[in-house]
Structure formats: structure tokens, C-alpha cells
Chain A
């Protein structure tokens, strides 16, 4: 109950602190927002099309591959804890695991996941 009150107070104080800090940095300064000052710099002319345009996220397959191998890393964490006491068998077992998963990397390489051009 008291904890909740303190938490709410903390949130309020930090919110006020953030707003004051932004104000000190000049976030509410209207200088530079007039239309001729706000035009993006293209070398001398104003842009004719709007800047909201979509472009290709070419690294998307690579991020999926990354997440898949991140899960492989998750398996390696508990293995690392017992690796020293288990010895060579642990090494061999993890080696087999990694070898099977590296076939996935080879497949991705052939499928041009790693090339964005």
C-alpha cells in the first residue's frame, strides 16, 4: 500500500524530470520549424514526393536465421555449466549437435540468405 504510493510518486517525479530535461535541451524551441527551414536537404531543390515510403528489408531472412541459432545457443548454456566435469563425451555430443545444425547454415548460404545485393 505504501509501496504502491511510493512507486506512483517515483513515476510522477521521473516524468516531470524527463519533461524538464527535454525543455532544457530545447525540445520546445520553435526555431527551425518554419517551412523553409524544415525542408530536407537535397542539394538545392525541395522534394516532390512524400518521405513516407517503404523499402525492402533485405536482412529479414538473416534475422530469422539469427533467431534460430540463438535457440541453439540457449541449448549450449546448460551444457557449458557441466562441460568441465563431463569431459570429452560432452564435447563429442555438442559437436554432433552443432554439426547437424550447421547443415542449416550451409542451406541458408546456398539460398543466398547472406547476400543482400
Chain B
């Protein structure tokens, strides 16, 4: 009886949710995190609901099934973006469908309440209940075997030692950090070899999002090409940079600041350039951010492609920007922002400066309505896909905190960029 009352109280708490953002859903999921009834957690073990948002390739179904089983029972899945008449495909967890136009927060609160009060059956595990392999020794009673060094207890080989930096030999742990690790961008799969918390080797595994068939199917089809105006392009660029800032602030643990930046990015207008400038000054004065990012993940000019252009290249001192050669931008008096140093702090300052500059350009271009004659670069620049190839060179030797800082500072997009290209912008 007391348990039932406690259960009713528990049902009123904010819903702990582990969100997986698929194609076309990253911004929506970021906006959902602002809702007071929902709290986004860092691991499926702290969650009650698993939220799939957007579209997923069918190849990623077993990854999602594994994460689904790691959510402790009672568990439920909600698929935001699945139209109500479409069935969930094979391999995916049976999900409550929320059409993309509806707000997911009320459905999440509703499903959570029903789960806690026992009105909804919890979802069973999807993967088979089979241990990876039984513990089996060599002797007749199951004893013996190779034991601590080099054996395979419970089906997994022990981490074997390798040389460490001060002459000792310590174990090298090989892990595959998957597509939905919260500190990494969605879709990044890395095979890392860790000694303690120092990364020794990094291999980028090809993203499961490279698959072409996405589920649910897009109902609108490919968008026709529409020439964009300077105001639209620059407003989109500023919003992209601010949303990156909010994501990276969340990764660094500055959650309240991150929420402020999301609110700033949500209704971004060219007149809001003063707010962006204030936020930029505030972040540049923040000491924890500077200590976390200064000197970390230095990318030299020679490590980038010859024709690289984008915030990462400009933060390393390469003054390349496709907008220089455009006559419309020349008329607006555009000068590319360049920083020196190439570390994560330089990339932070670069994107903050570019966000402010973009809104300023949008304000100046307001009302002129001139559309762009040629292509200009997007918020991530040209050759943004090749940044992932820098990771096996950049990350070995770093401690894990610096690895997370560096990957966050690169603003990788491994989900939306392979799957779709927005019209009018490169």
C-alpha cells in the first residue's frame, strides 16, 4: 500500500529518458531536452524510456536492441517520427509511435506514468538470454585453464599487457565505443585501445548510418533545389554553430549554460545579434571551459587537406572561406574570421565568432533579398567528412577527458550529412 503511494509519487517525477537521435531529429531532440517533464540521462541504465527520434537505417537495429535491453525493466520505447499507421520493422523494439508533428513530451510523461503505475506492460528483452560463453576450465571439475593471464573467462579474452610510457607493462583494453555513446556525436564508432585512461590506438569503424535505406521512409521525397538568400544561409549557419555550442557545453558538464544557448538558438533572428554577442563574451570569460580546452587537440595546418575550409581549418590559421569569392558577400564587407593555435579553445572561439558574424551579416542583408549566385560553404565547411580521418592521428596519447574534448570540438556530423544534403548550401 505504501509501495503503491510511492509508485504514484515516482510517476510524477521527471521522466528519465535515453534518447537516440536518428536522421533529421538532432535539433528536435535538443529542444525536447528543455522540457521540464523530461530529463535526459547519460546512460540507458539510468533511464526508464528509450526514445528513438527520426529515421534509422535497418542495419542499426541490433545496436538499438542491445541498448534497449540495457534499460532496466520496467522499460518502454517511444519512436518520435514514426507515423502511427506504420508498423515497427523487424529487429527494432516495439515502440509507441509519435508522429513527427506532435510534441513528444506529453506522450513520454503519459507512457512513464502508465509504466510506473503498472497500467502498461514493460517490454521484454529483445536479445536472447544466452551468456557469451560458459566458464569452462580444462580439468574434469571445470577448474584450471590459462587463468588470469591470457585466458578467456566467460568467453572474453583478458586484456594483455603492453609497454606503457614509463617502462612498465600494463594491460591494453580494447573497446568498441558505439554509435550512441553520449559524449560522442551520434554515429561515431571508434575501436579504442586503452591503457588506464590513456588512449593508445584509435580506429574509426565505418558508420552504420552509411546505409542508404532509412526507416521510416520519408514521405516528402527529396526537396527541390531552391536558391537561398544570404539572410537565410547566415541565419542557418549561426543556428548550427549555436546548437553545436549547446551540445558541447552539455558534454563539458555546463548544462545550465547549454540550455540557455539552446533557447537562444531556437528563435534566432538577425536582431538577436546582441544576445549572441553577450553569450559569446560570457563563454569566452568562462574559466572552466578555457582550462578544459586550451592546448587540447592541436591540429596543425599540415594535418588538414590542402583545400580544407571550414571552422576547423580557420581555427588552425588557414584563412580559407568559400564566401570570399562571392560578390554578394563582398558587397556586405565580409572578412573571414581566423584564429591561431588550432586547439579546441581556438575552435570554440572560432565558432562563437562566426555565429556572431553570421547574424551580423544576416542583419545587414535583411530586406535586400539577394539570392546567392554560386555555392558557399555550409556551417561545417568543405571536406568536413575528412575530419573523422584525423582522429586516428590526433587521439593516441591523450587521456580520455581530452579525447572527449577534442571530438566534441570538431563538430562532426555522422548522421544527417551522409543521409541528406540541404538545398541551396554546399
Contacts and interface: CB of A to CB of B under 8 A. Distances in A.
B72 A37 contact: yes
A44 B65 CA distance: 8
Interface in A77-117: 117
Contacts of B152: 50
Given A43-B184, A48-B157, A54-B161, 10 more contacts: A37-B72, A39-B69, A46-B132, A49-B159, A51-B173, A52-B158, A53-B158, A53-B159, A55-B170, A117-B399
Interface of B: 43-45, 60, 63-64, 66-67, 69-70, 72-73, 125-132, 148, 152-154, 156-159, 161, 164, 168, 170-182, 184, 189, 195-197, 399
Interface in A32-61: 32, 34-37, 39, 41-56, 58
A49 B156 contact: yes
A38 to B, nearest CB: 9
Contact of B156 (A37, A50, A55): A50
B66 A49 contact: no
A46 to B, nearest CB: 7
Nearest to B174: A49
Interface of A: 31-32, 34-37, 39, 41-56, 58, 117
A34 B197 CA distance: 29
B87 to A, nearest CB: 23
Contacts of A46: 66, 132
21 contacts: A31-B73, A32-B72, A34-B125, A36-B126, A36-B128, A39-B66, A42-B177, A43-B180, A43-B181, A44-B63, A44-B67, A44-B181, A45-B176, A46-B132, A49-B175, A50-B159, A53-B158, A54-B171, A55-B170, A55-B197, A117-B399
A55 B181 contact: no
A24 to B, nearest CB: 11
B171 A45 contact: no
B158 A49 contact: yes
Nearest to B64: A44
Contacts of A36: 66, 69-70, 125-129
A67 B161 CA distance: 30
A50 B164 contact: no
B181 A52 contact: no
A35 B177 contact: no
A52 B63 contact: no
A47 B126 CA distance: 18
A-B interface, 7 closest residue pairs, ranked by CB to CB distance from nearest: A43-B178, A44-B178, A43-B181, A55-B196, A44-B63, A53-B171, A36-B127
Contacts of B197: 55
A22 B103 CA distance: 41
A44 B195 CA distance: 22
Given A31-B73, A36-B128, A117-B399, A50 B177 contact: no
